[in-house]
Structure 1
């Protein structure tokens, strides 16, 4: 990948007090790389800008609050115990928060479709963007979330799972195929449902714990004392407790997955810089606060050695919240939770289609995918890319066959480690953006939006994301615990990314972009050419919008 010619230090920094008009941009000494950048932004401008801040916030929120919290938390509790589970959520939450700061700053500086894929091309190397993009597409084209719908529906119906896959598969296709605004409004509605459910779970759990249910004694911190704060895994003593905690960390990573979706639709958002920044701030404290509150309440009302939570079945009947509340005599809750879990699965399936299609669009602008993926309909939606992603929906039928389900399970699990790979690249993107700013005479004050201390948060999130990825399959290295399927799915992303990176470097001979050669001028010019008004201050009844905006 060619890089722009280096200008002298006096010209490196365009004055940010003036608006750079189009003629100024054309007068700059652009190389072929800049022509590619202008071509990319041309295609970006063809997309719809129908999404608003509330849509971006809720799309990110529904991508995080899912089966990991409502159903899989039972496995985390039985693996690590109450204190171990709570510490795991705090630890991973801090890493996610640091990573969120990184992606927000870079996305506000360069708000483009499939953000972090394009960011890695712009700040590091075209081969990194190619690698990340195709890893994302691979993980998103496997419709594992849609297959979960059939399992959730089995709570209510004995009909063949193939029927529900067909019905909800058509729903997912219809939601995505015409207008991005439909998708935004549907996800906004699902997000509101999830917030209400989480708040309801917290309040109900607190009532149970404090003895507010007739005939039930006050629990308090009883389960923290008996059977104890930590569970032992693989061995006994302190080492067994640490092993249980670290195994729980691996599970919690995937419960937080989806936060990076905040930059995915920047190219289809009205005033993307301010929308992303506001959504990032509010989504993180909502996710972190609500996650910790929910997990904390859960540890108070269910014992980690309760046999009912050891083997979840994928429906509401296996949820630890349902188990606790059924024992308290609350009968209707399982149906409510199962309904919201159903919306979670549908939201995640929608997000997979969106992620795959927008990444295909982004790669096509760089000639790393066929050019026909750039076609958009009259509503500014990349319909061919969306249609291609929808073609893989029938893979869900593999989960119906007992023989094919094993293969499909492998494909599902392989996609999980891609979350950590995303976090790693997101951190590196920010590190290289910071290097480029310093090399060209800019400071962090020149960024349109920023958080305090993000230059350190990037290294923090990078270290732990790498650590989580390398140790994610650690049980396979314990004598007598090796399983090839577990080992393969934990580490397949590593050789896959190396092969893709090497392919693009050797075939296309892309070059690493030096910090002083990164094209920052066009980004600052775009900021000045597209000023975004500040949000008006909320007054009176408008304060209610803080719940979702």
Structure 2
């Protein structure tokens, strides 16, 4: 299998710009124009990397990837939905649930990092599935991701969040956000990266501020002067009963919290999807994946722990979500402590979080369409890009589904948001399962072909075991996601649909494409690996510069 490389890839980043490189640039411009033709039968379609290297522009840096993950993870899940989880499981139940999901996501993230470092492509998981397992699974997951990205859960959230300040129709705000999000995705990936970098810094400051305020409230430093300490862990207690009394009820609350936490970790795996648009993709994506996991896990667990200290789990206001800051446990804690103004600050920061998460959904969906089109699993028109390397047809197609957010104008807007959230959570679990499957199949193929793990461009000990653990855990969580519906008197068709629809959808797409195209499940010796390892050797990347002195501070964002 031949690896196609654009002319720009054969030129070192450090080479001075001279007349030769200017000639190369002229050739690249001509090549780009030729690529815009409808000739879809060139050899590049059949290469490992497809059009990733000659159509998408490498406008992102490592700091952008790091912050994109932060804006994707710390969204409405932790700021708004955490109240319902807290009311269900209690302080200890919620705290343990977030730690366990963090471990599952972390092991999954390392598995993804190894695969993405070996094969850095747009829409990483989609392309890895067809490379290591079966092209039908790549088709399945690609279209499931596009469908999931069309769920306007975050756009719905932005409109509800704004309702904290105004009684104007939410439809006005939905329209404004749709226009702004589409515009921010249509200029250049560099512009998008810088915009989200700023929003991410705002979010980091908010999280730091919430930790400080929580310590102040707990210590009795607020206007009320009342010291709380671990009061809410003692009364109403560390675990809440759910569905039934006793220990079984406490376990049910904890298990329900596990499934609720999944949504809060949703944006972690989004980073490798942009591997084709970042400089030094192998090194950058692997480093970003590791650091993102450490940062997200530590920050998330600290924030959740602080939340359990400042508000009681039996407070009725956190259990009845309004979708905006009125039901945010952090805002309720501030009001209980008679701290003014900060509730508006929190709501504003949550608004930027929801906006960023909606932005990331559009990016993710359009890149998945691009990856599908590379392998003839979507119309070739989705390969069209602007001069700045933006897959504008894919962006426009995904944006066409944003008006579904107008469903939020109904009287049951909070329920609509919850449906979207449940559907996205189920899709995330499917994502984690397939990421683990990718690594398991890659490792199995390497063993069968006698390729040692030392040849991987980047690796970590115990990753093969991590892939199995995270995969099995994700399967269990997906199958039990709607367990409440099987309790007598608790069945809701909408709840069952949102929890399990992803399973028949994925199986239908898989077997449909397999029957239509006759794809084969790849045996270990059939997986094309040498082309990938050859590309690693032919495209060496400079090592990451060690951080010394004041540069250590850049760990906060790089």
- Flag whether TM exceeds 0.5 (same fold): yes
Q: Structure 2 CA distance, aligned partners of 1:37 and 1:204?
A: 56
Residue 332 of structure 1 is matched in structure 2 by: 341
Residue 10 of structure 1 is matched in structure 2 by: none
Q: Is structure 2 residue 143 aligned with structure 1 residue 146?
A: no
Aligned residues of 2:223 and 2:339 also touching (Cα < 8 A): no
Q: Structure 2 CA distance, aligned partners of 1:144 and 1:224?
A: 32
Q: Is structure 2 residue 557 aligned with structure 1 residue 548?
A: yes
Q: CA deviation at 1:406?
A: 7.2
Q: Is structure 2 residue 533 aligned with structure 1 residue 516?
A: no
Q: Structure 1 CA distance, aligned partners of 2:60 and 2:99?
A: 31
Q: CA deviation at 1:128?
A: 0.5
| Distance change (3 Å), C-alpha of 1:357 and 1:501 | same
Q: Is structure 2 residue 117 aligned with structure 1 residue 133?
A: no
Residue 124 of structure 2 is matched in structure 1 by: 115
Q: Structure 2 CA distance, aligned partners of 1:191 and 1:102?
A: 25
Which structure's relative contact order is higher, taking Cα pairs within 8 Å and 6+ residues apart? 1
Match 2:301 to one of 292, 295, 302: 292
Q: Deviations over 1:396-434 (max 9, x none)?
A: 223224489977864564333100000000000000000
Q: Structure 1 CA distance, aligned partners of 2:418 and 2:93?
A: 28
Q: Structure 2 CA distance, aligned partners of 1:240 and 1:408?
A: 26
Match 1:393 to one of 372, 379, 402: 402
Structure-1-length-normalised TM-score: 0.92
Residue 182 of structure 1 is matched in structure 2 by: 191
Residue 341 of structure 1 is matched in structure 2 by: 350
Residue 530 of structure 1 is matched in structure 2 by: 539
State how 1:248-263 maps to structure 2 within 5 Å: 248-263=257-272
Match 1:496 to one of 505, 511, 528: 505
- 3-state SS in 1 of match to 2:47: helix
State how 1:138-537 maps to structure 2 within 5 Å: 138-402=147-411, 410=419, 413-537=422-546
Match 1:75 to one of 80, 84, 87: 84
Q: CA deviation at 1:80?
A: 0.3
| Distance change (3 Å), C-alpha of 1:399 and 1:405 | farther
| Distance change (3 Å), C-alpha of 1:213 and 1:408 | closer
| Distance change (3 Å), C-alpha of 1:537 and 1:409 | closer
- 3-state SS in 2 of match to 1:501: helix
| Distance change (3 Å), C-alpha of 1:355 and 1:267 | same
Higher deviation after alignment, 52-61 or 383-392: 383-392
Q: Structure 2 CA distance, aligned partners of 1:69 and 1:144?
A: 15
Higher deviation after alignment, 39-48 or 149-158: 39-48
Q: Deviations over 1:208-234 (max 9, x none)?
A: 112222442321111111111100000
Q: Deviations over 1:334-376 (max 9, x none)?
A: 1111111111111111111111100000000110000010011
Q: Structure 2 CA distance, aligned partners of 1:302 and 1:355?
A: 36
Q: Structure 2 CA distance, aligned partners of 1:373 and 1:308?
A: 46
- 3-state SS in 1 of match to 2:389: coil
Q: How many pairs were matched up?
A: 520
Q: CA deviation at 1:33?
A: 13
Structure-2-length-normalised TM-score: 0.90
Q: Deviations over 1:163-195 (max 9, x none)?
A: 111111111011001211111111111111111
Q: Structure 2 CA distance, aligned partners of 1:53 and 1:234?
A: 46
| Distance change (3 Å), C-alpha of 1:278 and 1:177 | same
| Distance change (3 Å), C-alpha of 1:33 and 1:417 | farther
Aligned residues of 2:154 and 2:357 also touching (Cα < 8 A): yes
Q: Structure 2 CA distance, aligned partners of 1:437 and 1:195?
A: 40
Q: Deviations over 1:425-450 (max 9, x none)?
A: 00000000001111111111111111
Aligned residues of 2:171 and 2:406 also touching (Cα < 8 A): yes
Q: Structure 1 CA distance, aligned partners of 2:510 and 2:187?
A: 34
- 3-state SS in 1 of match to 2:55: coil
Aligned residues of 2:152 and 2:358 also touching (Cα < 8 A): yes
- 3-state SS in 1 of match to 2:488: coil
Q: CA deviation at 1:395?
A: 2.0
- 3-state SS in 2 of match to 1:41: coil
Q: CA deviation at 1:254?
A: 1.0
Aligned residues of 1:398 and 1:405 also touching (Cα < 8 A): no
Q: CA deviation at 1:44?
A: 3.5
Aligned residues of 1:44 and 1:113 also touching (Cα < 8 A): no
Q: Structure 2 CA distance, aligned partners of 1:163 and 1:70?
A: 23
Q: Deviations over 1:295-324 (max 9, x none)?
A: 111111111111221112111121111111
- 3-state SS in 1 of match to 2:423: helix
| Distance change (3 Å), C-alpha of 1:403 and 1:64 | closer
